[in-house]
Amino acid sequence: MRHGATRTDKLFAAADEAPYRGPVVARPCIVCAAPIESGGLADAIVGVGKVAAAMRTTLLLTSRRPPWVLVIGVCGAYPGSGLDVGGLCLVGEELLADEGVALADGGFRDLAAMGLGAIGPFAADPERTAAAAAVLAVPVVRGATVSSCSGDDRLASAIAARSGAAVETMEGAAVLQVCAHLGVPAVQLRCVSNRTGDRARGGWDLRGAVERLHAAVRVLARAQGWEVSP
């Protein structure tokens, strides 16, 4: 069974029936990486990968200053994460997991270990993240941002072990780092589209993950009193 799926599915089913009784929260600026993740809900598509996401998020937040940012998207689940395909999570913090040097013995030295820069983890807003997790009844996890997704089991296990991450994305840490630098609170909501590692055994369900992601955004909007596109 997916982590938190039963209770969350009930929340989704009741979202359009229950009258709104929660506190009013200012509407976030919703961003995602790829058009398929938007579903008409996102205010901006910042692009896949760290460079595109960082650049466009910076341009967005310096041209207007939203009260907070909601990052939405799909992700891969690492071995031992407790998450499966279709599972939702809030990413409480995320680090740059493959910025560094891959060593001949199979080890890895990251930028921080070499004194060349920060890899994080970069934190989402803890209070807003906890509030969203409570509404959706889903876990708060650590994420790992990569340039190349882990398409074999050894690489997936290695990144999970050295990062302590539960999920893998291609831009989460970059967006969180920009938001932190510019002083804009951020929350990151993800749905698992696949298991990391061997892609033939990844259990891919991109369409289903996107549908659950969009449903979760609508539940969160209703619970907090802000509006999204129908």
Strand 29-32, strand 44-45: pairing: parallel
pLDDT for residue 13: 57
First-to-last alpha carbon distance for the chain, in angstroms, is 29
Whether residue 204 lies inside any domain: the answer is: no
Whether residue 31 lies inside any domain: the answer is: no
- The dihedral through the CA atoms of 71, 22, 141, 9 has a sign that is negative
pTM, rounded to two decimals:
0.90
pLDDT for residue 228: 87
What's the rounded Cα separation, in Å, for the pair 218 and 114?
Answer: 43
Count of domains forming the chain: 1
Name which of 99, 77, 101 is nearest 160 in CA terms: 77
What amino acid is encoded at 140 in this protein? Answer: V
Whether residue 20 lies inside any domain: the answer is: no
> What backbone phi and psi angles, to 5 degrees, belong to 32?
-145, 170
Residues found in the chain: 230
Whether residue 5 lies inside any domain: the answer is: no
Whether residue 15 lies inside any domain: the answer is: no
- Please give the chain's pLDDT, 230 residues, in tens: 344 445 456 555 545 444 444 556 899 999 999 999 999 999 999 999 999 999 999 999 999 999 999 999 999 999 999 999 999 999 999 999 999 998 998 889 999 999 999 999 999 999 999 999 999 999 999 999 999 999 999 999 999 999 999 999 999 999 999 999 999 999 999 999 999 999 999 999 999 999 999 999 999 999 999 988 76
> What backbone phi and psi angles, to 5 degrees, belong to 156?
-60, -45
Domain containing residue 48: 42-199
Cβ contact 41:191 at 8 Å: no
Whether residue 109 lies inside any domain: the answer is: yes
Whether residue 113 lies inside any domain: the answer is: yes
- Owner of token pair 């999970």: 160
Whether residue 88 lies inside any domain: the answer is: yes
What's the rounded Cα separation, in Å, for the pair 126 and 38?
Answer: 24
Distances, alpha carbon 175 to alpha carbons 28, 62, 123, in Å:
14, 13, 10
List the structure tokens of 154. 């050894």
CATH of the domain at 175: 3.40.50.1580
